[in-house]
Structure 1
Amino acid sequence: MRKYPNFLVIGAMKCATSSLHEQLALQPGIFMTDLKEPNFFSNDEEYEKGAEWYASLFTPEAIDTLLGESSTHYTKLPTYPETIARIKQDIPNALSLKFIYVMRHPIDRLVSQYIHEWSQRIIPKGKDINVAIHEYPELIAYSKYSMQLQPYFDNFGKDKVLPVFFERMISEPQSELERICKFLDYSHKPVWQDLEAQNVSSERMLTSEWRDFLVETPILSTLRKVLVPKSVRTRIRKMWTLSERPQLSTKNLEYLEEIFNQDLELLTPWLGYESLTCKNFKKTIKTELVQATSA
């Protein structure tokens, strides 16, 4: 008998969804797929593998285990427009699904995405962030949280989506995990465990197959450490990394704040805040989050 998830962590990209996935997987009675980011419902090449392949990702030992997966591509409009239609079509009882959406300051998230895509050579090495935001619209689109969530509200209801903030997970991880598990109707007390940070953007390096081969092959790695002085290795490493966090110009900061403030305004009734803007974002979300699901 095929098994399907009870809940999905749907994003957003660069908001510690990998860390949340790991924490949920450590809780007894919760099963998270070993494959992170299956992206089954978003990516055509994954969807073509079929429902049987997707169901094979869920292999819990206990029958009453909660099943989940995490795919940030599920909230990447307009890149993946068929996601929700496929979820509704292929998951039995899809309307009972629950969704977890992690947000962070929209400009911080954008910068982190820029670093990631720079490291993956999606954005060329010499492309400054102040130019990239105008040439790569997905940098802005993926931080427009209201735009990404509205289709889920329309198709599943606001009460089926739990808003979570990256900043609160960092400052209050245990209480946030408890809130998430309460939303999932988890019957045990979850425990947040100290783990190594996932996907740290500041440590991103440009991808390179030949460099990775030299670094990861045991014999070559040993020879490199013996024959190449550490100072030289450090200098070479810096050539492959971003030495400083990218800085947006004042003009572009104002441009982005205007865009994101309009988007955040649409979310405030749902979140239960009086006002949420780029300027007050980090201070405001530190207060108790009250989800206005009836809004």
Structure 2
Amino acid sequence: MRANLLPDFLIIGAGKCGTTSVDNYLKQHPSIYVTNVKEPNFFGYELIKPEDFPDKSKLKHYYDSVTDLESYQALFSEAQPDQLLGETSNTYLYHDRAPERIRHYVPNVKMAAIFRQPAERLYSRFLHLARVNELPTKKFESVLDKNSIWWTRNDLIKEGFYYKNLVRFFDYFPKDQIKTYLFEDLKNNPQEVMQNITDHIGADSSFEFDFSVQYNRSGFIKNKFYDRMVGHNSIIKNGIKSLIPSKAYSKLQRSPWIRKKFTDIKNKNLSRPPLHPDLKKKVTEFYAKDIQQLSKLINRDLDHWLVC
């Protein structure tokens, strides 16, 4: 086992902006090791205890995360000595303590953040929660109610204030340690984006990635029985996991061919009703000032995000 099992790079979010795809693409690279556990959230939760949660409904996410150093380092234990280590946790963008804790442990770590038009991101989050049967409200229109759960949970309205979330990191790290990307760039030219990310973290940027799999697609489930067989938490998946050693299962997870087969099957069972333009415009208005501030911070023209 390597002596210093701490990440060389972090994908810090935002959620529903392509981070799952980037996480899986990086796993293809022979000189990169990405943890099998996506979103360990260690740097966000390390100093937090269960009793610190006034809202006990949020404890499930805490208990699903990795909150002690030994367990966090164990996530990297299967890496080869010459591999770069990394992980993806979208919560780091909005966890108040994350930037300071990241600097405490890995002050030279390279980070990447990916952003998407915030109304589109929020709607994609809605569809994701529909897929896993955890909708905060039955209708997306509820986001317009500022007294609703959409405005109190970190992963809903709040996560879309990218400038507010990202600017805190520059209090702890120089700008050259944090690269920012747009979802549309990843969608339209994934090879260029992945080459830029691999170059940023210090890996061979000439590696040719396989982009044939559509990861983490969201939507309403068409057939629930079918989903129980092949979906996110399927009987088949759990059966395979229980029958073979953990290392063999990890190897299967990293196979692009296996991932493509299962992902294609899952995606065919999803329905994605479109976001109504009027509703998109109203949601975008909440983010208008933050979008303008983000544009200046990352030196990218984001005016097209404001036109609905």
Q: CA deviation at 1:10?
A: 0.7
- Alignment of 1:83 with 2:101, yes or no, is no
Q: Which residue of 2 aligns with 1:278?
A: 305
Q: Is the 8 A contact 1:177 1:190 kept in 2?
A: no
Q: Is the 8 A contact 2:5 2:73 kept in 1?
A: yes
Closer, same or farther: CA 38–274 of 1 in aligned 2, 3 Å: closer
Instruction: Give the SS at the match of 1:109.
Output: helix
Q: CA deviation at 1:196?
A: 1.9
Q: Deviations over 1:95-131 (max 9, x none)?
A: 2111110111111101001112233343356x21111
Q: Which residue of 2 aligns with 1:7?
A: 9
Distance (Å, rounded) in 2 between the aligned partners of 1:172 and 1:256: 27
Q: What is the percent sequence identity of the aligned residues? A: 24
Distance (Å, rounded) in 2 between the aligned partners of 1:164 and 1:201: 21
- Alignment of 1:122 with 2:134, yes or no, is yes
Closer, same or farther: CA 260–124 of 1 in aligned 2, 3 Å: closer
Q: CA deviation at 1:6?
A: 0.7
Q: Which residue of 2 aligns with 1:17?
A: 19
Question: What does 1:176-215 align with in structure 2 at a 5 Å threshold?
Answer: 176-202=193-219, 204-205=220-221, 212=228
Instruction: Give the SS at the match of 2:113.
Output: strand
- Alignment of 1:244 with 2:273, yes or no, is yes
Q: Which residue of 1 aligns with 2:38?
A: 36
Q: Is the 8 A contact 2:44 2:98 kept in 1?
A: yes
Q: Runs of 4+ in structure 1 displaced over 4 angstroms?
A: 46-49, 206-211, 213-218, 240-243
Q: CA RMSD in A?
A: 3.1
Q: Which residue of 2 aligns with 1:103?
A: 115
Q: CA deviation at 1:29?
A: 0.9
Q: CA deviation at 1:247?
A: 3.0
Deviates more, 1:16-25 or 1:255-264: 255-264
- Alignment of 1:150 with 2:161, yes or no, is no
Q: CA deviation at 1:274?
A: 5.0
Q: CA deviation at 1:276?
A: 3.1
Q: Gaps spanning 5+ residues in structure 2: where?
A: 46-61, 237-268
Deviates more, 1:145-154 or 1:115-124: 115-124
* 1:59 paired residue among 54, 77, 80: 77
Count of residue pairs the alignment pairs up: 250
Q: Is the 8 A contact 1:260 1:278 kept in 2?
A: no
Instruction: Give the SS at the match of 1:268.
Output: helix
Distance (Å, rounded) in 2 between the aligned partners of 1:84 and 1:180: 20
Q: Which residue of 1 aligns with 2:88?
A: 70
Q: CA deviation at 1:273?
A: 3.3
Give the TM-score of the pair, scaled to structure 2.
0.71
- Alignment of 1:112 with 2:139, yes or no, is no
Instruction: Give the SS at the match of 1:195.
Output: coil
Q: Which residue of 2 aligns with 1:228?
A: none
Q: Gaps spanning 5+ residues in structure 1: where?
A: 219-239, 282-295
Q: Which amino acid aligns with 2:274?
A: R
Give the TM-score of the pair, scaled to structure 1.
0.73
Q: Is the 8 A contact 1:104 1:166 kept in 2?
A: yes
